[in-house]
Amino acid sequence: MTDSKNNEQQTDGKEPYRSGFVAVVGRPNVGKSTLINSLIGTQIAIASSRPETTRKAIRGILTTDNAQLVLVDTPGIHRPRTLLGQRLNDVVDESLSDVDEIAFLLPADQEIGPGDKRILSRLRSEFARKDEKTGKFIWKVPLIAIVTKIDELNRQELMAKLIEISQFADFTDVVPVSALERDNVAEVKRVLVENMPEGPQMYPDDQITEEKPEDTIAELVRGAFLEELDDELPHSLAVVVDSIDRPGESDNPETEDGKAHVLVSIYVERDSQKPIIIGHRAEHLVQVKKRLRTAVNRIVGQKSKLDLHVKVAKGWQSDPKQLERLGF
């Protein structure tokens, strides 16, 4: 099942062009962001071993010879415990309105659970109607089950898993994949394209995301801290890019060195968290800047300087005003 990097879609010239939106949904931590990155071939969404990594509906654009798919990464669907959790669920609702196809991710290495059932019934209430005669659900859009993390199972276990998932709901198709080992990623692409309605190309060939540079950088900074900090501060971080000043375009004296100046605020919930973020002799700030140098230069389109400021927004995850200010 391993696919080669050059395994692009072949067209015979007769295939219609297809385009539209795919909502990528599933419980927290099932591998949504990782799969989207691997479909697109570059990191546009951050992924981590912690649940609730994704907080915004990031849109990645996948262009093939005969199709363009906008993959909408969503926060994991879960029972909310904080106001932030509630807002994350709202984000999922918004990103579900008006999609052409749904990719429902289920991890191969876990049992189908109440979380998955809740997601299914939520999808049904929005996208399906019940046929009175047969009692079956008729879907308005294709519903594709993607079984993730298959590298965790042997062949026999995987077969049993695929059968179990096929019986869980009336999926249009069921596709196994390991995004981590790039196993069967091309097949996922093929199935998603095949089920997309006909439509025109919407974005230039080389555009891979709909996000503003500010938002992409803010996500990358948050992702870099999640990696840098291990488990010290799981959910307490929010990142905002306040400004990008380019030389010649602003009065900011910082740009006199010819570099763009990217001003970033990193919010934590309590004073005591500040030194943890900053680290001994600012080691975390230094590492994060180093990690992101190339990516930020690419996004801004020129040599840039990241300026990181750690601030406290007391209890922001449960405070409506603060949440709004931080873009939720």
Instruction: Check residue 151 for interaction with ligand GTP (CB under 6 A).
Output: yes
Closest by Cα among 56, 322, 61, 95 to 214: 56
- Whole-angstrom CA distances from 303 to 102, 130, 300 are 39, 56, 8
**Segment lying near Mg ion (by CB under 5 A), choices 24-32, 174-182, 206-214, 240-248:** 24-32
The one-character DSSP state at 250 is S
Residue 313: contacted member of Mg ion, ligand GTP, none (CB under 5 to 8 Å, by partner type):
none
Which of 83, 120, 180, 233 binds ligand GTP (CB under 6 A)? It is 180
What is the Cβ-side half-sphere exposure of residue 273, based on CA atoms within 13 angstroms?
Answer: 21
Report the C-alpha gap between 76 and 171 in whole angstroms.
Answer: 20
Residue 43: contacted member of Mg ion, ligand GTP, none (CB under 5 to 8 Å, by partner type):
none
CB within 8 Å of 66: residues ≥ 6 apart:
9, 11, 15, 16, 17, 18, 193
CB within 8 Å of 171: residues ≥ 6 apart:
104, 143, 144, 145, 165
CB of 191 to Mg ion, least distance (A): 21
Instruction: Check residue 152 for interaction with ligand GTP (CB under 6 A).
Output: yes
Of 111 and 132, nearer to ligand GTP (C-beta) is: 111
**Segment lying near ligand GTP (by CB under 6 A), choices 2-10, 41-49, 111-119, 289-297:** 41-49
Instruction: Check residue 34 for interaction with ligand GTP (CB under 6 A).
Output: yes
CB of 95 to Mg ion, least distance (A): 12
Report the C-alpha gap between 205 and 139 in whole angstroms.
Answer: 31
CB of 216 to Mg ion, least distance (A): 15
Binding site for ligand GTP (CB under 6 A): 26, 28-34, 47-49, 51-54, 75-76, 148-149, 151-152, 178-180
